[in-house]
Structure 1
């Protein structure tokens, strides 16, 4: 509170000082030679003394910028005292030598303000490069060169007296150094001087004008006190003090300086121009020796600074190029693809643009079998082959790993598909790697602009889904799913927006379908099935939104939400004494997420649940990608006590060899095999052999899609372990499920207490 009061007082005193400045100027203009010396001297003193007091008050109320305000206050106070001394000496008609004691007080202003300037720069920038000091020095030399030209009459008038020459030049040279420092600050801010520094710049500009005129008049003996020239300094003092007060009221926030930009060339360029102009004039005998020497030194310093700035700019350009280039292949990287694609899609004159997402099949086997250095050579050669099949204006980028992306203008979807075939054919030729012929294939997903999306992010997501579909179905290339007929894409985008809101607002709910033990009728586990409690469309089943979630890249968030809701319900059930294992379905993408086991462990630990409280269900197709990676993820989950089940068993394209390698607890036989067992002997034989296979491997067998008691009885006779389906119980809410378990005569829920 005290600091705020002091700051307000500083502003009030500063306003009073500005009033004194205006009054001093009016007094000089209106009364002219008839002015009262004592009254004018007093007004002049207060026009500089009050701003100094304002700076002191601002410094006292400041939290992090006291030094700048106190230094400016000291400099302005010294300036006002010097002015007072000069007024007293002239009022008594005493001889005032040059230089005098008042000049000593005046000159204290410049180092004080320069120190405040340096401290202000240091507060705002964590690191100031030596180039800033170099810019300031070059600027000061250039200004000194010009001053040597402007002040030549003054220097010649004072003769060879070094002290008089030094003092005569010190005033404008001090201003030049301060202005050069401000130009250095402008370079730190990318060539733009912040608005809060403008009062300081204006004040120093006024000081420069006043000091040059003062030096010329003193040397010629024509300087008189209490003329409009004195008002220029008073205005300059008020402006500098205004800057100090504003600085004191701002919090100190450090930032990184903006280096390596073209603004760094402004100061040496201007200094070079000034030096060259002086040297050209000197060739005609129009310049003093001092001006010529300063011009030569300025030119050399400016040339050196320009060279360094040029090297910095080249380095910055190289860093920008590296940031947009893949280190291994030299192709554009993901960041460059986003920029190039955005501009390309905006300016493309073609009716259709295609984004092709290319993933190399069996690349991991090359890395594991031949080494990463061979894999890197394969990626380089693959990039070269792809580039050879593209037109010069097509965009080719490596996104990371073994993924590439292409953006090309095409006539239609068929042309995009044909381009994908040509690219796959280019990669099909064996690669010669260290004398070994290596064959690889590629899976390519295709998304079209504007049919499948208007921006690169949406196109990439849809191309990624299409690429995964091409990989799992082994088609080689696959076009993204078309927009529904009669829909211009608005409904799809609206659905995606609503799905984002559903995930943020917890609109997703879970229904649970029990898995009955066919030996004793107990229920030890349930499968969690996600539903969307849409605010306007009611309860939506997965087929209404899962495809959209996949296209939008929301499956990770959706899986995380389902897992959280399932574990929350498992905790509530166990707290009520029901030990039910909740099964959650995972997408193929989740099996590539190395953080999944850690997140599952964290959620179990937060609820105090054992790993056996949750079961992970995956499909055979989800294992078609990187089986080694998926096995590692599942093994880490299994180590937590989490059970693993293969869902829709029998419908995938995988070899049964994965049952030997994967850490699996349970097989869930797809409903397409279960439904006809009571009427089709071939189906019954397949079910019986599959049950025998699972038992021989030490796995449980769960039959899905049981619709009637006849099927249930057949499965029980064949030794099936568990079953689920509408014939047993439809998916229900958690409360309805417990009611069913308590009322159903053939079902009994297991009991447990919380650990």
Structure 2
């Protein structure tokens, strides 16, 4: 049954009952039966509708409907006891009785329901609204007592318990009416239908209860009177209110909001009238009632004022938070951070101990674009938590804008450079949102205060921001330091080298691949294939190059150009390099056992060359696999930036002294730094495919390749050509004196088993004296 059908049915039955009772058709006996039947039918119907509303609703709305259903159930039970006593037993129902307990349950339940019901703006002021209801109810009751009810009670005494029960009806009704009125004032327009119907139901019930009290103290009430029409109409209103709660409703905000002006002053209007009435009749014969109600009013007023003070403090705190805090992370905002820096600069006698770290999360846009802003917000919150853990004082961290943060270093017992490195380490582990791992890296600019009085907080923050943007643009160091009034960062401090030469961002896998790549490295899920290298002009295998691949769950395989930029950007190159070296050495150990004395070349991250122990550690690893040092070739890509040439020179010399050959890979791309050829000790120079592919059709390209080969030979190093795709290119390289070549003209990259078969076949062909000048593979 739909909500509209229920409304029509409730209105139909209610109208019949009201008209019948007001008309008094059929005499007292008939109207008594009609009254009892209408009460039962409408009470049960309203109870059923409330139950359906509770089942179809959620959250606070469901709780409100459960409370309303409980109140209606109490009313139906109470009325059933009354009818049984009157109609079945033909006995006069005593007052008060168990039926009154059921009747009184309804206004109590309605009051609780409206306090729970989501109406949009009440927020944390619900307790205050309850107290407002108590104050207004007590005030109205006190005035009603003095003006009307006191005289009715003086007409004929019916006993203390009976009077208390009779007074409970109007008192509860007035309290609930007041609460609903206050809630209606602050409710959103779409939430007022339920409150308005509940208010109508309580008003009708309150009016009927007041008249009932007046008639009962004079023994003038009979069941079936026109007065019963008021209760019939009130039951219809309760049922209609429940029909407006079938289904879902919008979520309500818990944001702290100030009550309306009317809601603030409403309780005091009847309170003034109650004070006047109470003072006039304080010494009346019924003064005990006045004193009790007055005492309750004083307690309610004091409680309300205490709540008002507490809520005002909360509002002031919330306002201060909005002014000085970032709404998402709770960190300081830029304005408050600048104030903190200014305070420290004026108070600190050693300004050089003050610094600001400006932090930008690189490529954070990918997270929002690929995973959604909700995930991005969750990651920002985690970043804020990690940055806060980096400093002893949490209020030294601020969110400046979007994916930019700042940390104020103020006499924290550490150098600004060390603080920056600690921040950098905070990004080492991925940020986890649900089942998604997101790995991010920051660019950090350090602004250091110099002389006292030469700058303010905004200038120091701008200095750090300038250094950060230089680090972000150069992509060489994750940390830049600026310690003068000029914008140029100092370059003589220890820097963390981060190689970053990514391709177009559109070619990268989605942002979640950062975490997946880290997991693949940790779980050794990457694979390695090997591309054979052939001597020219004999075309005999002289070595292989290890090439990494990343298998995907859907069966596809990502090539290095799709994920190596990601690994470079997020500091995974060293871990990835370790995986490839370990796999290549394991495989080389096996093919050497089969008698294939073929060295393997592995690309090595340039950052490894800044490690003084890299050479000895690699030599020990090769030896541990039972391989000669000559079985391993270290390939260094030319697209690197080396900041400590002395250490790099030492490491490369150590590798060569150990017998490990060194090759400069991808010559002809990126920096084309000829001074590397002059300064670095190496054994082999590899020409990139893009460098040698045009030589057949472009004379200028051919002349350059020929000159580079001749230059390498004059330096005493061998030359390897990569990406040879056709016989003409191979022939031309042979004519120029190139030593070795690799590419699809000779062989595609092969898996380990394919490589073993290929090596065996080529060895057999060589034994058989087959001319290998023209490749057969």
Normalising TM by the smaller chain, what interval?
Answer: 0.5 to 0.7
Please, which of 584, 589, 608 is the counterpart of residue 564 of structure 2?
A: 584
TM-align CA RMSD: 7.0
Match of 1:297 in 2: 296
- Indicate yes or no: 2:65 matched with 1:43: no
**Per-residue CA shift, 1:348-403, capped at 9, x if unaligned?**
xxxxxxxxxx96499xxxxxxxxx999879997x99xxxxxxxxxx99x9934359
Shift of residue 656 of structure 1?
4.7
In structure 2, distance between residues paired with 1:298 and 1:194: 29
- Indicate yes or no: 2:104 matched with 1:110: yes
1:206-355 equivalences in 2 (<5 Å): 206-219=204-217, 226=224, 229-243=227-241, 258=254, 261-263=257-259, 270-283=266-279, 289=287, 290-291=289-290, 293-315=292-314, 317-318=316-317, 321-322=320-321, 325=324, 336=333
Q: Is the 8 A contact 2:201 2:235 kept in 1?
A: yes
Aligned residue-pair number: 551
Match of 2:545 in 1: 524
**Structure-2 change in CA distance of 1:526 and 1:68 (3 Å):** same
Q: TM-score, normalised by structure 2?
A: 0.51
Shift of residue 172 of structure 1?
1.0
In structure 2, distance between residues paired with 1:581 and 1:214: 88
**Structure-2 change in CA distance of 1:714 and 1:500 (3 Å):** closer
**Structure-2 change in CA distance of 1:686 and 1:238 (3 Å):** closer
Match of 1:401 in 2: 407
Match of 1:156 in 2: 151
Match of 1:20 in 2: 13
Where 1:399 maps in the other structure, the secondary structure is strand
In structure 2, distance between residues paired with 1:319 and 1:47: 52
**Structure-2 change in CA distance of 1:616 and 1:326 (3 Å):** farther
Where 1:428 maps in the other structure, the secondary structure is coil
Q: Is the 8 A contact 1:616 1:644 kept in 2?
A: yes
Where 1:21 maps in the other structure, the secondary structure is helix
Match of 2:677 in 1: 687
Shift of residue 236 of structure 1?
1.0
Match of 1:387 in 2: none
In structure 1, distance between residues paired with 2:252 and 2:651: 53
1:448-487 equivalences in 2 (<5 Å): 465=472, 477=487
Shift of residue 306 of structure 1?
2.3
Shift of residue 752 of structure 1?
1.1
Match of 1:429 in 2: 451
In structure 2, stretches of 5+ residues that fail to align are: 56-61, 339-354, 360-387, 411-444, 455-459, 489-503, 514-527, 536-540, 581-585, 589-599, 626-632, 693-704, 727-740, 756-777
**Structure-2 change in CA distance of 1:205 and 1:743 (3 Å):** same
Match of 1:711 in 2: 708
In structure 2, distance between residues paired with 1:256 and 1:16: 32
**Structure-2 change in CA distance of 1:132 and 1:725 (3 Å):** same
Q: Is the 8 A contact 2:133 2:178 kept in 1?
A: yes
**Per-residue CA shift, 1:184-235, capped at 9, x if unaligned?**
9889999996754553333223222332343345456776765654322211
Q: Is the 8 A contact 2:128 2:307 kept in 1?
A: no
- Indicate yes or no: 2:743 matched with 1:752: no
Match of 2:44 in 1: 53
**Structure-2 change in CA distance of 1:199 and 1:670 (3 Å):** same
Match of 1:139 in 2: 133
Please, which of 197, 200, 203 is the counterpart of residue 199 of structure 1?
A: 197
Q: Is the 8 A contact 2:638 2:672 kept in 1?
A: no
Q: Is the 8 A contact 1:647 1:668 kept in 2?
A: yes
Q: Is the 8 A contact 2:131 2:304 kept in 1?
A: no
In structure 1, distance between residues paired with 2:257 and 2:461: 46
**Per-residue CA shift, 1:145-186, capped at 9, x if unaligned?**
311211332223322542343233121112234446768988
**Structure-2 change in CA distance of 1:303 and 1:600 (3 Å):** farther
Q: Is the 8 A contact 1:110 1:175 kept in 2?
A: no
In structure 1, distance between residues paired with 2:192 and 2:719: 74
Shift of residue 646 of structure 1?
6.0
Shift of residue 585 of structure 1?
2.6
In structure 2, distance between residues paired with 1:378 and 1:150: 58
In structure 1, stretches of 5+ residues that fail to align are: 1-7, 342-357, 363-371, 384-393, 405-422, 433-439, 448-460, 479-495, 507-511, 528-564, 605-609, 678-682, 730-739
**Per-residue CA shift, 1:555-580, capped at 9, x if unaligned?**
xxxxxxxxxx9544998679xxxx99
In structure 1, distance between residues paired with 2:305 and 2:299: 10
Where 2:752 maps in the other structure, the secondary structure is coil
Shift of residue 309 of structure 1?
3.6
